[in-house]
Amino acid sequence: MFQIVTFYRFIVLSELPAKRERLKAAMRELDIKGTIILANEGFNSTISGKPEKLNAFLSSAEEILGCRIETKSSSHEKMPFRKVDVKIKPEIVTLKQTVDIAKGSGTHVAPEDWNEIISDPETVVLDARNHYEFMNGNFVGAIDPGTSKFSELPDFVENNLDPAKHKRVAMYCTGGIRCEKFAPYLRSKGFENVYQLRGGILKYLETVNANKSLWRGECFVFDDRRTVDSELKKGVEPDHSVAISKTNNPK
């Protein structure tokens, strides 16, 4: 059985090429596969390996990156990744907007408290993911922004939400990283009561009992499993991103 972990953190990083080479070497040594993205603003990753080797790698990664790593975990009988990939990019999640991450302080909602927040009729529940992800599953009452990439979400907000009218906005994404950028972005645009699901859908499914869950469907993940179900096991839903791509680019 292979363990799959996702993790990210917004933290100032320097000497990125050296960190990239050390991480790649540790991944190869411990037979870890997946992707790690490095930027001056932090790191973002989904990787997989045998549990004991994965734990050893995470200890090494904490030393290389100079901070504690918090993970979200699931498992699968097959390795869901095909290669070792450590990339250096301008952003660890691409919004193409200048954001002060500190403005997101106080916006995090624990999975155990999420149902209460989104059940309030005054709360706008915003899915911060893309349309093809929304099609696989979503929270009850959530708005599909209809985006094909994260950097389109500011335009959706500009055209559809008004801080004078929409007083409470709660958002969620797969693992939490998109919301880490978008919650402070919304605050910078005048939205006062902003909430983000801590740890994203994956942590919610890991934490909240199925009979109390307000999640419907499966969760799209960016590996060979395509989706996971409410028990974080490989799902059966199709990859809607492929169908949408074929529709937009017919032969």
Catalytic residue among 67, 173, 179, 219: 173
Q: Are residues 79 and 162 in the same domain?
A: no
Q: Is residue 61 part of a domain?
A: yes
Q: Are residues 154 and 63 in the same domain?
A: no
Residue where one domain finishes, among candidates 27, 54, 88: 88
Instruction: For residue range 79-100, list pLDDT tens digits in order.
Output: 999 999 999 999 999 999 999 9
**What are the C-alpha distances in Å from 115 to residues 7, 123, 242?**
24, 11, 32
Instruction: For residue range 178-206, list pLDDT tens digits in order.
Output: 999 999 999 999 999 999 999 999 999 99
Residue where one domain finishes, among candidates 88, 117, 146: 88
Please say if the pLDDT value at position 243 is more than 70: no
Q: Is residue 95 part of a domain?
A: no
Structure confidence at residue 247 (pLDDT): 46
Categorize the per-residue pLDDT at 241 as very low, low, confident or very high, splitting at 50, 70 and 90.
Answer: confident
Q: Is residue 27 part of a domain?
A: yes
Question: In the chain, how many domains are there?
Answer: 2
CATH number, domain of 51, equals 3.30.70.100
Active site residue 173: yes
Q: Which two tokens stand for residue 221?
A: 């993940």
- Smallest CA-to-CA distance from 7 within 60, 50, 52, 61 is with 61
Instruction: For residue range 133-182, list pLDDT tens digits in order.
Output: 999 999 999 999 999 999 999 999 999 999 999 999 999 999 999 999 99
Please say if the pLDDT value at position 242 is more than 70: no
Structure confidence at residue 12 (pLDDT): 97
pLDDT averaged over every residue in the chain? 95
Q: Are residues 84 and 107 in the same domain?
A: no
Q: Are residues 221 and 180 in the same domain?
A: yes
Structure confidence at residue 240 (pLDDT): 86
Q: Is residue 96 part of a domain?
A: no
Residue where one domain finishes, among candidates 60, 88, 116: 88
Q: Is residue 94 part of a domain?
A: no
Q: Positive or negative, the Cα torsion across 214, 216, 209, 79?
A: negative
Q: Are residues 176 and 237 in the same domain?
A: yes
Domain that holds residue 173: 101-248
Strand-pairing partners, residue 168, are: 123, 193
What is the distance in angstroms between the CA of the first residue and the CA of the last residue of the chain? 40
CATH number, domain of 121, equals 3.40.250.10
**Residues with Cβ < 8 Å from 140, sequence gap 6 or more?**
118, 214, 215, 216
